[in-house]
Amino acid sequence: MNEFVQMVLEDAEERMSKAVAHSRSEFSTIRSGRAAPQLVERIVVEAYGVDMAIVELATVSVPEARQLMITPHDPSNLEAVERGIRTSDLGLSPSNDGRCLRLNFPPLTEERRKELVRVVRKLAEDGRIAIRNVRREARKDLEAAEKDGQFSSDDLARAEKDLDRATQDNEAAVDRALGEKETELMEV
């Protein structure tokens, strides 16, 4: 196989894999009624005069299935972390015992579960769109190189089949992750 074709296919596969990984990380930020440290990873808190992620300032643990415990490394940051959680989009109020914060996750209502499934499906579609965009760009590069005479139309057809196969595999990975998240969300 032509070296240029190989390079384009490898680049496309790598970028598609990153799109799948990004979709999975987006799914992990959706609250499923169970406590998970990923839910607070993106929350930014002002400490020491700069914005920092909670995971840089504190230890996050899961003492019970529906509870997160956040223990700041420096107790003087406890109030800043609490403020950051209150202003986040989690919709939870932490309880402060002076040393750590506890976040209690109430069970989700059926209506809220269905709403979260819709959100997750939208995120999955965004992931599939990103994968298709990678395919379109790679196909454009391959067709331009074929027009320049760098390789034959047969090589182009084989490369496009490989590209379509990679696209289908990566879309299937997004769909599997979506199925797992939907099952997790609908679990009572």
Residue 58 main-chain phi, psi, to 5 deg: -150, 165
pLDDT for 65 beyond 90: no
pLDDT for 91 beyond 80: no
Q: Give the whole-angstrom CA distance, residue 109 versus residue 186.
A: 10
In this prediction, residue 12 has a pLDDT band, given cuts at 50, 70 and 90, of: very high
Of 72-76, 87-91, 110-114, 136-140, minimum mean pLDDT range: 87-91
Highest mean pLDDT among 89-93, 103-107, 125-129: 125-129
pLDDT for 172 beyond 70: yes
Does this model's pTM top 0.75? My answer is: no
Q: Which tops the pLDDT comparison, 15 or 153? A: 15
pLDDT at 89: 72
pLDDT for 185 beyond 90: no
In this prediction, residue 135 has a pLDDT band, given cuts at 50, 70 and 90, of: very high
Domains and CATH numbers, the chain: 3-29+109-186 (1.10.132.20), 38-104 (3.30.1360.40)
Give the model confidence (pLDDT) of 72-86 as tens digits. 999 999 999 999 888
In this prediction, residue 1 has a pLDDT band, given cuts at 50, 70 and 90, of: low
In this prediction, residue 11 has a pLDDT band, given cuts at 50, 70 and 90, of: very high
For residue 94, how many other CB atoms are within 10 A of its CB?
22
How far are the Cα atoms of 34, 37, 104, 137, 184 from residue 63, in angstroms, in the given order? 12, 11, 11, 47, 20
Residue 45 main-chain phi, psi, to 5 deg: -125, 145
Q: Give the whole-angstrom CA distance, residue 146 versus residue 49.
A: 55
> Could you tell me the end-to-end alpha-carbon distance of the chain, in angstroms, rounded to an integer?
52
Q: What is the overall mean pLDDT for the chain?
A: 89
**For residue 50, what are the contacts with CB-CB under 8 A and spacing of at least 6?**
none
Q: Give the whole-angstrom CA distance, residue 24 versus residue 12.
A: 19
Instruction: State the residue for tokens 């992620």.
Output: 53
Of 37-46, 97-106, 114-123, 153-162, minimum mean pLDDT range: 37-46
pLDDT at 167: 96
